[in-house]
């Protein structure tokens, strides 16, 4: 018997909830436990607002829930999601992330968060692309554009996470970051030539 869209969404929601180690009660504030139970059993249709709140609690983008739902409907299998990717952090190496002569630095946590967001974005885009077009995104673009594509997403995520770095407006093909103070500083005409 073919699953309904509500049943598929419910199965995806339950899988993500369990993956995060959350109970239905842990969604309090985003949705009531009985509503979560009804969603997971496929008895209710989620609203867009509910999908957004649930995704926020699950620490994923709402499109990941939707893309996984349609992947399950089409293939009867849950695609590998970003959330099941585990990271092994290197806690043994001291790295100096200082980027100005004033000693400003970014943290390894900021790098980690940007990497996780980038992986989530790329995997979700690849899933949606395959669902819409029917072929793998990475069969369509070769390695060099793929690197630029993923790099641009990472740099953008990093700029959004960091309160002190911004995208360099003079770099469009291969984006990079500059200290926020350089962005509106008329004395720093050549952003590409700042000291660090």
Structural domains for the chain = 1-78 (1.10.260.40), 85-196 (no CATH)
Share of the chain above pLDDT 70, in %: 77
Examine the pLDDT at 152 and tell me if it is beyond 80: yes
- The rounded distance, in Å, linking the Cα atoms of 37 and 30 is 13
- Over range 66-70, report the average pLDDT: 86
Task: Output the pTM of the full model.
Answer: 0.58
- The rounded distance, in Å, linking the Cα atoms of 63 and 36 is 18
pLDDT at 50: 93
pLDDT in tens, 18-28: 878 889 999 88
Question: Residue 156 has which token pair?
Answer: 């953008």
Q: Are 51 and 38 in contact (CB under 8 A)?
A: no
- The rounded distance, in Å, linking the Cα atoms of 115 and 87 is 10
> Which strand (E) or helix (H) includes residue 179?
strand 177-179
CA-wise closest residue to 20 among 66, 64, 50 = 64
pLDDT at 82: 47
Question: Residue 28 has which token pair?
Answer: 């309090």
Distances in whole angstroms, Cα of residue 68 to Cα of each of 63, 88, 95, 100: 8, 25, 37, 42
Examine the pLDDT at 94 and tell me if it is beyond 70: no
Residues in the chain: 196
Examine the pLDDT at 128 and tell me if it is beyond 70: yes
């Amino acid at each position: 018997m073919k699953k309904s869209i509500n049943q598929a969404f419910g199965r995806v929601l339950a899988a993500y909830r369990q993956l995060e180690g959350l109970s239905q009660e842990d969604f309090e504030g985003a949705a009531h436990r009985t509503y979560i139970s009804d969603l997971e059993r496929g008895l209710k249709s989620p609203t867009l607002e509910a999908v957004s709140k649930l995704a926020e609690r699950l620490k994923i983008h709402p499109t990941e829930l939707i893309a996984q739902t349609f992947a399950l409907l089409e293939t009867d299998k849950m695609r590998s999601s970003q959330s099941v990717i585990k990271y092994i952090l290197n806690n043994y190496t001291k790295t100096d992330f200082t980027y100005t002569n004033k000693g400003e630095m970014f943290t390894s946590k900021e790098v980690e968060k940007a990497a996780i967001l980038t992986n989530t974005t790329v995997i979700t885009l690849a899933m949606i692309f395959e669902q819409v077009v029917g072929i793998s995104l990475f069969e369509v673009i070769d390695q060099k554009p793929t690197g630029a594509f993923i790099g641009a997403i990472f740099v953008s995520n990093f700029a959004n996470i960091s309160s002190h770095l911004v995208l360099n407006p003079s770099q469009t093909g291969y984006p990079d970051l500059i200290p926020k103070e350089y962005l509106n500083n008329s004395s720093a005409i050549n952003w590409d030539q700042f000291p660090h």
